[in-house]
Amino acid sequence: MTTITSPRPTLTVLKADWLFDGTTESLLPHPRVLLDQGTICAVEQTDVDLPEAQIIDLTGSTLVPGLVDTHVHLAFDASSDPVGHLAARDDADALVSMAAAARRAARGGVTTVRDLGDRGYLSLALRAAGRLDPTLPDIIAAGPPITTPGGHCHYLGSEAGTADDMRSAVREHVGHGVDIIKIMASGGNLTPGSRPELAQFDPDLLRVAVDETHRAGLTITAHAHGTPAVAGALWAGVDQLEHVTFMTADGVDPAPPDLVATIVERRVNLSLTAGMVPTVGPAPPNPMTARRPALLANLRRLCASGAPITAGTDGGVNPGKPHDAARWAVGDLVTAGLTPAQALRACTSHAALACGLQGRKGRIAVGHDADILALQGSPLDDPSMLHRITAVFVRGTRLEYAVRPRTAGGFPAGDP
């Protein structure tokens, strides 16, 4: 028995049967996790003798870190017309909708989200609100994505056509206090007339964005579908890539080995689109549906390559992409060849690293934020246990609810 003395009445002990700490291959038995308000201050395997602590008995449960989704859009409402709905909302209404989306993420076990495209820097306002509101997940915010004039997601408000425009756009984002820069290296499916298979920017202009971002001490991630955009973004020196589908006008290219080798060598994080949630009724038309077998083949190649991988669900872009879709992404990465432990690491500790939150998020370890899920069984044996959540703690506060179990399934996503 371990005795810890503390005069403070703010301590909580979570008692459970098993624990996955976000980094290991196996589970730790009999965990006792001591929380001091929102922070984990001890992880023990024996009962903690601490009379003043509140004991929360989660016997029968497996504790795992809260999930970290590296690609969501809180401003899109996961309807069949997210762009139209956002356009019809003023900023105040949009913020209400975004807060609801963020709360859905947290209730579904996603305690940190990286918002890679808002309008008017609204995700930064919500990020600030979340620091005082334990029902909201932590938000890493990119603000509006930088795109070409009239290009993919131009309606979100950040267009750059020249080197001077690009420097101004990056500086404006930095001035607002974004956590990361997001640039649209290719077209996307959510913008009529946009062509995902084509590069949007000349690689020289991407390099201006990379240099200006790095000068400000930030990282930059590129939305890149087609091979030319992936190649251009790698040449320009981006730190991370989104989607990386290698889609063509009518299909999907096999992932080119030379580009995969460059990704692996430079440790460019791949935020891969996973987490398609089963929907009720007929699925809306999605240009990615017919491509799914070839997309899965590429996902397998990338997962087998040794590249740093996280899961970005694109939560919000269609009804199959609610903001808590990350629970399904773990199973999708297992389908793509990762072990359950690797898939969970991709969605916890590795995702925290990609978000610059290592040491704070993605692990159940001393000094980390107490973002913790209790599950009815081990996700290392069965990833669908992520749908059997019995408790969610966000920075030490337990959310009031239980999610309804749903069938896991689906596979990579369409994307905006």
Q: By the criterion CB under 5 A, which residues form the site for Zn ion?
A: 314, 416
Instruction: Determine contact, residues 257/241, Cβ cutoff 8 Å.
Output: no
Residue 159 or 314: the one with the smaller Cβ distance to Zn ion is 314
Which residue matches tokens 């291959």?
25
| Least Cβ distance, residue 255 to Zn ion (angstroms) | 20
336 burial (CB, 10 Å; 0-12 / 13-18 / 19+) is buried
> What is d(CA 295, CA 411) in angstroms, rounded to the nearest whole number?
9
Of 21, 63, 69, the C-alpha closest to 346 is 69
| Least Cβ distance, residue 289 to Zn ion (angstroms) | 18
Residue 63 or 156: the one with the smaller Cβ distance to Zn ion is 156
| Least Cβ distance, residue 38 to Zn ion (angstroms) | 29
| Least Cβ distance, residue 56 to Zn ion (angstroms) | 36
Residue 70 or 348: the one with the smaller Cβ distance to Zn ion is 70
Residue 35 or 124: the one with the smaller Cβ distance to Zn ion is 124
Contacts of 259 (CB under 8 A, 6+ apart): 227, 230, 231, 234
| Least Cβ distance, residue 105 to Zn ion (angstroms) | 15
| Least Cβ distance, residue 409 to Zn ion (angstroms) | 22
> What is d(CA 172, CA 178) in angstroms, rounded to the nearest whole number?
9
| Least Cβ distance, residue 190 to Zn ion (angstroms) | 8
| Least Cβ distance, residue 155 to Zn ion (angstroms) | 14
Residue 224 or 234: the one with the smaller Cβ distance to Zn ion is 224
> What is d(CA 314, CA 376) in angstroms, rounded to the nearest whole number?
27
3-class DSSP assignment, residue 352? helix
| Least Cβ distance, residue 393 to Zn ion (angstroms) | 28
Query: Strand pairing partners for 63?
Result: 19, 374
String of b and e for 184-223 (b: at least 16 CB within 10 Å)?
bbbbbbbbeebbbbebbbebebbbbbbbbbeeeebbbbbb
Of 70, 25, 141, the C-alpha closest to 350 is 70
Residue 187 or 416: the one with the smaller Cβ distance to Zn ion is 416
> What is d(CA 80, CA 77) in angstroms, rounded to the nearest whole number?
9
Residue 31 or 414: the one with the smaller Cβ distance to Zn ion is 414
> What is d(CA 67, CA 318) in angstroms, rounded to the nearest whole number?
21
Residue 82 or 379: the one with the smaller Cβ distance to Zn ion is 82
Residue 320 or 416: the one with the smaller Cβ distance to Zn ion is 416
Residue 19 or 276: the one with the smaller Cβ distance to Zn ion is 276
**Dihedral through CA 75, CA 80, CA 85, CA 91, nearest 10?**
-10
> What is d(CA 357, CA 399) in angstroms, rounded to the nearest whole number?
22
**Alpha-carbon distances, residue 316 vs 117, 175, 312, 326 (angstroms):** 11, 26, 11, 12
Number of residue whose CB is nearest Zn ion: 314
**Structure token digits, residue 111:** 């305690």
| Least Cβ distance, residue 127 to Zn ion (angstroms) | 18
